[in-house]
Amino acid sequence: MTQVNILIVEDNPEDRELYKRYLRSNQNLQVLEAEIGEEALDMLDSHSVSLVLVDYNLPDMDGIEIIRAIRQHEKGEYVPIIMLTGLGNEEIAVEALKLGAQDYLIKGKLSATALLRSIENALKQTKLEQQLRDKTRELEDFVSVAAHDLKSPLSTIYVYCQMLKEQLGEQQETSELVQVIEKRSEQMIHLIDTLLSYTRLGRITTDLYPVELNDIIDCVKQNLHNLIVERDCEILCDNLPGVIGEETGLIQIFQNILSNSIKYCRQKPRIRLSAQQSDKLAIIAIQDNGIGIKKSEFDNIFLPFTRLHKGSEFIGTGIGLANVKKIVEQFHGKIWIESVVDQGSTFYISLPLRDTLKDLSKSA
Amino acid sequence: MNTIVVIDDSPEDYEALYRAFKKIGNQSPIVHEDDPSSAMDTIRQHQPKLILLDLNMPEMDGQELLRLIKQDLSTHNIPVIIFSTSNNERDINECYELGANAYLQKPLNFDHYLKLAKNIDEFWINANIVGKQP
């Protein structure tokens, strides 16, 4: 085991001494000390901190504030945190765990064994999480490179089909065959683009700001104008609230769902958008009269590469809704579905209402 | 001379572009360079009126080459049109920031290749007529 730097953040000198004594039994553990939150944040900057042991009640910050501050710190996003709380402060402890602390220990009941075991577990867990992040990153890079490399030759095939078609001119039958190749390669290019944007979504953190959903829907309707006219689609839209998000992402969300509603429908598509407000959330419902989805597929449709229908009946990439879910989650929202086969589906999207911006930035 | 230098490691992609220019009856000499590492020499030697540059190439990527072109005093005034399969906002922005004059996303359909070639060709013809007027 390499050297591990434990940062103790505790304003009570006696408590600090006690923890130091406990930690001394493991020679690999090196102790750093801070009395207040600000000092602890400075230590993160100047030292390589492996784990933070933090008191729930510091003179300048409470336990929740210090965890938020550490997580927002450049070097503290992933550092393991163990919170020391007083007896009867379980609520604070639970809140700490929610914010990403690895463990909490109750001050009065502390023993050397318990402390060391908790530290060992937290370090192990953090190491595993880091490995998982690295692997995920690696996998995303691989997909991104593979997709790019696939797109290049495909683009060439696509252009050559068109050159060939032009040369063939009158020879109709052959030209039709080439057209199939052209169309298929075009579909594949589209698929690769969608795949690329899926892998990209996980990495980009966008700034969130208030957006009027009514404007988003207007824009989506314009983008889908041809499809709407072609299918003689009827869209009823209630007045929708403002939410916290980002324009491009919101357009992607609603465009994807609306175009699905229109495409996966065997009759004249009728779509109704409505909204409810509960607490700090807007819940938007998008109801259609499409072919519907079996209950057993409700979760699957949000996974990448799920296609429920034969390509000959409905064209799709199988990534659309996975992208939608990723974006909704980036906006601190949720998406779910209710549906009856042959009657239609309702997608529900919850997003923070525009007035909750302040709270969000605090917990982000 | 209104030489156009095309830098693309794929002979097939170059072929498509070349055919488009040929088809519209282009008069400008076209030079193909498939090795980005010797591209700067080719550009300096031919002093082209236009550079068409593929972004995704082995050894040296298009961005790096674009940077070199725009940093070199003998080449920084030459307009560069980027061809790339990437629709990544970051790639596009980076190219414009480095001084690219246009960013075209592949696949371009062949009809667009033809239109592009025609417009470039007409631009030179017009430019020459204007230039020759007393």
B85 vs A148: CB contact, 8 Å cut-off?
yes
ipTM over 0.90: no
pLDDT at A294 over 70: yes
pLDDT at A140 over 90: no
Distance (Å) from the C-alpha of residue A161 to the closest C-alpha of chain B? 9
Mean pLDDT to the nearest integer, A216-234: 91
Tell which wins on pLDDT, A362 or A259.
Answer: A259
Whether residue A337 contacts residue A298, with contact meaning beta carbons closer than 8 Å, is answered with yes
Q: What is the pTM of this model?
A: 0.58
Q: What is the mean pLDDT of chain A?
A: 87
Query: Would you say residue A204 has pLDDT above 70?
Result: no
Instruction: Examine the pLDDT at A287 and tell me if it is beyond 90.
Output: yes
> Which range among A181-190, A309-318, B98-107 shows the weakest confidence by mean pLDDT?
A309-318
More reliable by pLDDT, A197 or A287: A287
Cis amide bond preceding A153, omega within 30: no
Please tell me the distance in Å from A277's CA to the nearest CA on chain B. 34
pLDDT at residue A360 is higher than 70: no
Task: Give me the residues of B, 73-102, that contact A with CB < 8 A.
Answer: 85-88
Which residues fall within 8 angstroms of residue B47, CB to CB, at 6 or more apart?
B3, B74, B78
Q: Is the pLDDT of residue A312 over 60?
A: no
pLDDT in tens, B49-102: 999 999 877 777 889 999 999 999 999 999 999 998 888 888 899 999 999 999
Q: How far apart are CA A232 and CA A230, in angstroms?
A: 6
Q: Which token pair is A94? A: 């639970």
Q: Where are the alpha helices (DSSP H) in A245-347?
A: 247-263, 320-330
User: How far is Cα of residue A81 from the mean position of the Cα atoms in its chain?
Assistant: 23
State the pLDDT confidence band at A90, using cuts at 50, 70 and 90.
confident
- CB contacts of A154 in chain B (<8 Å) are 107
The side-by-side arrangement of strands in the sheet containing A270-278 is: A234-237, A270-278, A281-287, A344-352, A334-340
DSSP string covering chain B: ---EEEE-S-HHHHHHHHHHHHHTT--S-EEEE--GGGHHHHHHHH--SEEEEES--SSS-HHHHHHHHHHSTTTTTS-EEEEES---HHHHHHHHHHT-SEEEESPPPHHHHHHHHHHHHHHHHHHHHHHH--
pLDDT average, residue stretch A222-249:
91
Do residues B3 and B49 make contact, with C-beta atoms less than 8 angstroms apart? yes
Label residue A310 by pLDDT band (50, 70, 90): low
**Structure confidence by residue, pLDDT tens digits, B22-51:** 988 888 899 999 988 899 999 999 999 999
Measure the CA–CA gap between B49 and B124, rounded to whole angstroms: 9
Which residue of B10, B19, B106 is in closest CB contact with A163? B19
Residue of A nearest to B112 (CA): A159
Mean pLDDT of A336-364: 79
The string of pLDDT tens digits covering residues A153-181 is 899 999 999 888 888 877 778 888 888 88
CB-nearest partner of A163 from B56, B88, B110? B110
pLDDT tens track for A122-134: 999 999 999 998 8
For the ranges A80-84, A200-204, B10-14, which has the lowest average pLDDT?
A200-204
Q: Which of A257, A272, A281 is nearest to A337 (CA)?
A: A257
The two three-digit tokens of residue A19, written as one number: 């923890």
Judged against a pLDDT cut of 70, whether residue A364 lies above it is answered with no
Residue A140: list chain B partners with CB under 8 A: none
pLDDT of residue B133: 43
Determine the pLDDT at residue A308: 65
- What average pLDDT does this structure show over A93-99? 87
